[in-house]
Amino acid sequence: MKILTNNLILAGLTLVFSFACTVKNKNTQEKLSASKPNILFIAVDDLRPEIGIYGAQHIHSPSIDKLAEQSLVFERAYCNIPVCGASRASILSGVRPGRYRFLGYNTYLDDDYPEITSLPMHFKNNGYTTISNGKVYHHADDDSLAWDEVWRPSNKWNISRDYVTSENLRIEMDSTVRGYPYEKADVQDTAYFDGKTAQKAINDLKKLKEQGSPFFLAIGFLKPHLPFNAPSRYWEMYDAKNVSLPANYFRPETTPAEAFHNFGELRQYAGVPKEGPVSDEMAHKLIHGYYACVSYTDAQIGKLLKALEELGLDENTIVVLWGDHGWNLGDHQMWCKHCNFESSLHVPLMIKVPGKTNGMHTSAIAEYIDVYPTLSELAGLHTPEHTDGESFVPLMNGKPRIKDYAIAKYFDGVTIVKDNFFYTEWLDEQDQVKARMLFDHSTDPLELDNLAEKTEYRETVQELSQLLHDQWGDDFFIDRRIP
């Protein structure tokens, strides 16, 4: 009887101790989560700043606009390279693209700069749960050690372009070309990849709340990337009769040939001519489809942000929304990205910091390499020495930043944005300037009058060229790629 009593007492003490440890661990997790802000990192593929918060009254983007009302909104933010793989490697490493680094859509951060600590790895090393949903890096297996989980949507046809209509599926499966560059289907949001991605991210938020530890949750939405596939109701938000071509739907004679491209990405789709401009009918359809996809993705972002709020996570979660680069929507009679015009480099960027941002706008120039040091500072983490950017936290505190320029490149073309000037140089194989262009956005926002060769702007060109060469980085010409 005495042995039984002792065993009961021991079992009771064990239960009390276990309960106390559970409570302590839970309290520790809650304290840790409260002391470290969560990060919700939302990437939108090919999103140009043609949305409501940027003054585009013809666009239906209520969810992004609502987020902007609680954020710091950058009116002059620029990607560092206008192609998806390289842009994502740059922002997630905090490193400026170079002559041989971060070049094209197929970029792997692991190959181009393997020794650095990426943004998600930096947070993982500091106790964060890191999850990648959808297209965050261009390749799902890039920087894989930085994530606790990597997930991407799929369909039963294993077609990355995510068609659902029988016509487009037939073309994809029976021919050497892709389906049409747009699709309107009477389906639910979850029929397409972005709807699936939003649902996965919402489920993750629920699990992360239960875990109680801080998280870095990255979500990459595909639309409005080609093909412009969206449920019918998003197409029907826009009257086709009101869709118009841009005012700069032509190529100015003073602009160097190096500035233009043949929009080869679009020409891979059915119905698109291999050379020359697309028909006006197709141009209007492409713009209509792009708008529909913007609204479709906006709706998925709205679902995600609503879940964040309903779960009570919004009060301790920093939200960053960014488009990986701009997109030529007929500007200069071009489509896609891949160039050094404003339409390819200018991007939407907003960051919501609970208790700190409240819908403020800034005209300060920012570039994507600034995001890494900014999030590090906001989370109370040190910023690794390899990063090239400058935190824009001072702007949130009403203070100016020292840096007042942005630099972007696309293969041979390198651009610097300073004040109202937009200056680009193209380099030859000996790294000498072979062409240049200069626009003054205060008088020429559509970039129709190249000032680079005009005598009265010679001094301006020299000053901007010198600043560009001084600031594009000490390792601009260093090749670190793995053979």
What is the set of active-site residues?
A: 84, 138
CB distance 274 to 168 below 8 Å: no
How far are the Cα atoms of 127, 236, 291, 468 from residue 336, in angstroms, in the given order? 39, 23, 14, 26
- Read off the amino acid at residue 272: V
Q: Are 329 and 48 in contact (CB under 8 A)?
A: yes
Determine whether 385 is exposed, middle or buried from the number of CB atoms within 10 Å of its CB (0-12, 13-18, 19+): exposed
Beta carbons within 8 Å of 95's beta carbon, 6+ residues apart: 89, 101, 102, 113, 116, 369, 386, 387, 388
Q: 220 near 202, Cβ under 8 Å? A: no
Residue 342: name the closest of 350, 353, 332, 352 by CA.
332
Question: Crossing angle of helices 280-310/193-211, nearest 10°?
Answer: 20
Neighbours of 160 (CB within 10 A): 14
